[in-house]
């Protein structure tokens, strides 16, 4: 398990390092203004669909279903073509009426800004069918316990965007956004190519070809499996979407605030997502196929043992990351972004948003771990109910905090939604089971370690404050 976690973490780290370099170049080229807001809006919609529709919900329903079905080849081809057809239809609709979709995610933009942003939204959306295909292939690779390709392939998107920024360094800001938008699509093509290579090398391409070849003859054998997949998928979409819908609503509400607010959210969320992806997502991706197989074979004891190991691994890493992100928020933003068009006021504003996000790192990360139990047991309906409650909590606090706290209030509301989601997920998992995991010497070690780490961070902050 830990070998798979390390592979995922190292791949994610590689991608995030390149991502931060990309963001550094983006901040230097565009700063935090209307054109940076336009690009982040254009990339936000396909990313939202990717995280809810393609990656999270699809993978968490597909892997247990793929493990269960006796006709894997035909089942896989059937699911792939159904979902690809839907996604292509959505993509074509976005390209036919891009201004309508742009207005839906940035209502606060005026008519002129929506007109400027619409062409970029249309271009960026072609990333969605590409990344769905990548996600489908990645699910098959994960079932075979091959994680390296998917972990490292995400770096190709960042390399493509870095190339776009380099090629457009002497262009106008509107042209830079065009280069970035086409860079997103090129990055999706590159990710698809490397996944096809991995599928070929692992012999899975023959399985897919067989699915195509025998689809008509054996399609009747997968009717029950396909029906169950569709039944579980819609609740999984909603159950997996709390964080993504919250981020979407963050952007929607921030469009009513001062220019640059969307960019502050974006830059702060990028940093917040680093430890979340590096530790929580990497762990959950590595653990999920194992948990699904154990539960499928009615071996709950081994599933719980693996879950407990992963919990303490995450508890230490996420707690220390939270402390570092809150205490050193200003220094982190200053180091990464304050140059070129990104000034000291932008650093202060982004730092406040980052602190609010980091408060939610531990609940979001731990929730991602325990929700695996629900999905592996095919409890998608319960997960959907939890998502609904946490989203209502988020919206309530976002509308309450946006006036007194501005853009930082939106991040704080997202954090409160994360705590709500964790509480109800643990309630379904079993509060007694959770406290059984907590009854460990590790809890004492975590408390002592947190105090010592906080003192070290404060000393380090005092030391470097003289140089900022």
CA atoms of 323 and 5, how far apart (whole Å): 23
Q: How far apart are CA 218 and CA 215, in angstroms?
A: 5
Structure tokens at 329: 């928020």
Average pLDDT of the segment spanning 72-90 = 88
Strongest mean pLDDT among 32-41, 52-61, 85-94, 138-147 = 85-94
CA distance 24 to 421: 33
∠ CA 362-364-101, rounded to 5°: 145
Among residues 23, 20, 40, 26, the alpha carbon closest in space to that of 261 is found at: 40
Residue 108 clears pLDDT 80, i.e. is over it: no
- Name the CA radius of gyration of the chain, rounded: 22
Q: Give the tokens for residue 423.
A: 């509480």
- State yes or no: pLDDT of 6 exceeds 90: no
Instruction: Determine the Cα–Cα distance for residues 115 and 260; give it in Å rounded to an integer.
Output: 18
Cα–Cα distance for residue pair 294/12, rounded to 1 Å = 26
Which has more confidence, 303 or 49? 303
Q: Exposed, middle or buried by CB within 10 Å (0-12, 13-18, 19+), for 439? A: exposed
Distance (Å, whole) CA 166 – CA 187: 15
First to last CA, the chain: 42
Q: Using the 8-state DSSP alphabet, how is residue 41 labeled?
A: H
**446/13 Cα distance (integer angstroms):** 24
Q: Per-residue pLDDT for 175 more than 90?
A: no
- CA distance readout (Å), 225 to 65, 239, 265: 7, 21, 41
What letter would DSSP give residue 70?
A: S
Percent of the chain with pLDDT over 90: 31
Burial of residue 73 (CB within 10 Å: 0-12, 13-18, 19+) is buried
| Token pair 């839907």: residue | 86
Helix %, strand %, coil % for the chain, to 5?
90, 0, 10
C-alpha triplet 55, 285, 318: angle, nearest 5°: 110
Write the CA distances from 382 to 62, 209, 232, integer angstroms: 18, 36, 11
What DSSP designation does 440 have?
S
Is residue 50 predicted with pLDDT exceeding 70? Answer: no
Q: Give me the pLDDT at residue 23, please.
A: 78
| Encoded tokens for 164 | 């776009």
In percent, the amount of the chain with pLDDT more than 70 equals 93
Closest to 7 measured CA to CA, from 205, 198, 142, 159:
142
Left (φ > 0), alpha (ψ -120 to 50) or beta: where does 260 sit? left
Q: What distance in Å separates the CA atoms of residue 68 and residue 70, rounded to the nearest whole number?
A: 7
Under the banding of pLDDT at 50, 70 and 90, the label for residue 395 is: very high
Assess whether pLDDT exceeds 60 at residue 160.
yes
Residues 6+ apart with CB under 8 A from 462: none
Looking at mean pLDDT, say which of 216-225, 296-305, 373-382, 383-392 comes out highest.
383-392
- Note the pLDDT of residue 272: 93
Neighbours of 463 (CB within 10 A): 9
| Mean per-residue pLDDT, 104-122 | 80
3-state SS of 210-244 is HHHHCHHHHHHHHHHHHHHHHHHHHHHHHHCCHHH
> In which residue are the tokens 């599933």 written?
303
Q: What pLDDT, on the 0 to 100 scale, is given for residue 466?
A: 63
Report pLDDT digits (tens) over 333-359: 998 888 777 888 889 999 999 999 999
Q: How does pLDDT run across 416-456, given as a tens digit for each residue?
A: 999 999 999 999 999 988 999 998 899 999 999 999 999 99
Question: Crossing angle for the helix pair 223-239 and 57-68, nearest 10 degrees?
Answer: 150
Q: Please name which of 155, 153, 154, 175 lies closest in space to residue 164, comparing C-alpha atoms.
A: 175
């Amino acid at each position: 398990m830990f070998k798979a976690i390390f592979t995922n973490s190292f791949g994610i780290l590689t991608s995030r390092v390149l991502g931060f370099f990309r963001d550094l170049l983006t901040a230097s080229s565009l700063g935090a203004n209307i054109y940076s807001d336009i690009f982040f809006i254009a990339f936000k919609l396909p990313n939202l669909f990717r995280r809810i529709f393609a990656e999270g919900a699809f993978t968490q329903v597909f892997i247990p279903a793929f493990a269960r079905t006796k006709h894997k080849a035909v089942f896989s081809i059937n699911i792939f073509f159904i979902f690809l057809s839907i996604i292509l239809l959505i993509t074509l609709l976005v390209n036919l009426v891009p201004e309508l979709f742009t207005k839906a995610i940035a209502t606060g933009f005026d008519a002129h800004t929506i007109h400027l942003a619409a062409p970029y939204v249309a271009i960026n959306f072609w990333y969605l069918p590409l990344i769905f295909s990548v996600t489908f292939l990645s699910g098959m690779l994960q079932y075979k316990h091959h994680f390296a390709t998917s972990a490292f392939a995400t770096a190709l998107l960042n390399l493509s965007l870095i190339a776009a920024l380099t090629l457009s360094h002497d262009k106008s800001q509107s042209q830079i956004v065009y280069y970035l938008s086409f860079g997103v699509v090129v990055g999706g093509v590159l990710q698809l190519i490397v996944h096809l290579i991995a599928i070929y090398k692992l012999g899975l391409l023959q399985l897919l070809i067989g699915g195509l070849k025998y689809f008509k003859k054996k399609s009747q054998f997968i009717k029950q499996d396909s029906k169950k997949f569709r039944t579980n998928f819609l609740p999984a979409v909603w159950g997996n979407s709390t964080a993504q819908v919250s981020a979407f609503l963050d952007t929607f509400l921030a469009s009513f605030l001062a220019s640059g607010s969307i960019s502050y959210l974006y830059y702060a969320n990028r940093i917040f997502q680093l430890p979340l992806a590096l530790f929580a997502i990497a762990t959950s991706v590595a653990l999920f196929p194992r948990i699904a197989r154990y539960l499928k074979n009615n071996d709950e004891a081994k599933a719980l043992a693996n879950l407990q190991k992963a919990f303490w691994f995450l508890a230490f890493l996420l707690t220390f990351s939270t402390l570092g992100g809150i205490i050193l928020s200003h220094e982190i933003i200053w180091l990464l972004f304050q140059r070129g068009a990104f000034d000291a006021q932008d650093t202060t504003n982004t730092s406040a948003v980052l602190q609010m996000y980091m408060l939610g790192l531990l609940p979001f990360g731990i929730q991602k771990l325990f929700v695996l139990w629900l999905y592996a047991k095919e409890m998608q309906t319960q997960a959907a109910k939890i998502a609904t409650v946490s989203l209502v909590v988020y919206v309530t606090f976002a509308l309450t905090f946006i006036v007194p706290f501005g853009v930082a209030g939106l991040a704080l509301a997202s954090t409160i939604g994360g705590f709500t989601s964790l509480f109800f997920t643990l309630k379904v998992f079993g509060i007694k089971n959770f406290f059984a995991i907590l009854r460990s010497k590790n809890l004492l070690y975590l408390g002592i370690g947190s105090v010592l780490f906080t003192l070290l961070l404060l000393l380090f902050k005092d030391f470097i404050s003289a140089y900022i």
